[in-house]
Chains A and B, each alone.
Chain A
């Protein structure tokens, strides 16, 4: 069970996160909380002209939430806000087990988290950063 989702990709991102740091050039930051694990994470993005130029996260959490955030940032930095929104939707589909093989390819390394859907108690850990990102984007778009 659990060993299936603690794969190398997840373990590596948890032990050696590239994006776990403050971001001085951040244009927006949003906090997300997962009370079941006690994961608390703040996502920082630098968005210019609708493009995510840079991003990071801070906070503490379980391996699943930390790795998921790190993988997500790998994927979205350099992409447009619209593309990030699309990836959030795909990630949600993957976790609920409704994703097609083609869509799964779009998620690249994030597809390493697909098995989380079999551990309902951990779904919130995996989706925390993605939900925080979605919330952030919808707030930005509502403000425009």
Chain B
């Protein structure tokens, strides 16, 4: 097994030599390559883009649009018109609900949401359904987090306008068969909105191959800065959707009575945009490509298998979801008998190990599974065997440190 030195690319591990960072599903650390690209942009290329009448503004515009092209290529979209920059996956999903939802979802229409969705891919639909008098329905998963094609077929009706599901659940770490889901939805005339926040950073995602209608993801979970995210939407769909935010940069012509809106994708990007963030995302994509998904996936699978196997051996530890490591792609959610997840996280923290505890923004799922709350460790390729060893070592001591004997 190769022991990587990827950590040397990440300054945070130089600053905190003892840190074991296992909260990558919440946000990843940032490599030097990204930090330097952002700094270079602000040092040498910063101006307000898109209305550039001078050289520096043209540079800023180029930096921004080059980032868009890098994203297009990264996810296999047909055109840069299909790539809208947002703040994060949550904003992308809200954009769809506000713009598409308010224009095209009507009273009595049905919206189907997978029960394991993050609140970001659930609340916008809940609110929309309430406003429009539409019906919100849930696709239920099994104990291992699995969804079946039969259940999806049974849940779809002629009135189902839209199905919202994540490619990888942020609780189970399970990869959902989005390509099959898209086929089934399309046979029914239903659109599929995919939350790619946990998949795009960790595996090759190609929108043409998956054939999803919309895909949302965040830069900060893929080594880019916080505050830059992406909405992919099919061009013909985005074309007929009304703007989401109104203001500068998104108009063509404005009079006292009305306005015409800018071409895609600028129609959805009101106000001065986050060029620095887009440049950082571009650098993050280059960084991911330089390592290669082949290596990233292999490394994360190795570490997941190692952690999963050892966790199974620790008494009183219960893993949520799939019964084998391959169902977990870098995310292992668990409980310990008799210890509240927030106490688990606090004890890990005292050993300088960062994990997440709570509902992971998926309360309906926790209700469905009848668990109060859970703890979650999540990996990235830069983690190593020593991180897993330390994680397991602390995990094995938690019950004792909470006062349980034996």
Contacts and interface: CB of A to CB of B under 8 A. Distances in A.
A37 interface: yes
A122 B342 contact: yes
A75 interface: no
B36 to A, nearest CB: 32
Contacts of B357: 37
A125 interface: yes
B373 A11 contact: no
Interface in B339-357: 339-343, 346-347, 349-350, 357
Interface in A38-73: 38, 60-64, 66
B352 to A, nearest CB: 9
B346 A122 contact: yes
Contacts of A121: 342
Contacts of B342: 36-37, 62, 64, 121-122, 125
Contacts of A143: none
A37 B340 contact: yes
Interface residues of A, number: 23
B403 A15 contact: yes
A119 to B, nearest CB: 7
A38 B350 contact: no
A106 interface: no
B402 A38 contact: no
Question: Taking each of A60, A62, A122, which has the highest tally of chain B beta carbons within 10 Å of its own beta carbon?
Answer: A62
A6 B403 CA distance: 9
B373 A37 contact: yes
B346 A38 contact: no
B305 to A, nearest CB: 29
Nearest to B343: A63
A2 B403 contact: no
A52 to B, nearest CB: 27
B372 interface: yes
B343 A38 contact: no
Contact of B373 (A14, A38, A122): A38
Contacts of B349: 1-2
A15 B340 contact: no
B346 A60 contact: no
B401 interface: yes
A29 B343 CA distance: 27
Given A1-B349, A122-B342, A38 B359 contact: yes
Interface in B311-333: none
Contacts of A38: 358-359, 372-373
B404 to A, nearest CB: 7
Interface string A110-144: 00000000010110010000000000000000000
B390 to A, nearest CB: 15
Contacts of B346: 1-2, 5-6, 119, 122
Contacts of A36: 342, 358
A14 B342 CA distance: 14
B402 A11 contact: yes
Nearest to A61: B340
A3 interface: yes
B340 A3 contact: no
A3 B346 CA distance: 8
Nearest to B340: A62
A60 B372 CA distance: 8
Contacts of B350: 1-3
Interface of A: 1-3, 5-6, 8, 11-12, 14-15, 36-38, 60-64, 66, 119, 121-122, 125
Given A3-B347, A36-B358, A62-B341, 8 more contacts: A1-B346, A1-B349, A11-B403, A37-B358, A38-B358, A61-B340, A62-B342, A119-B346
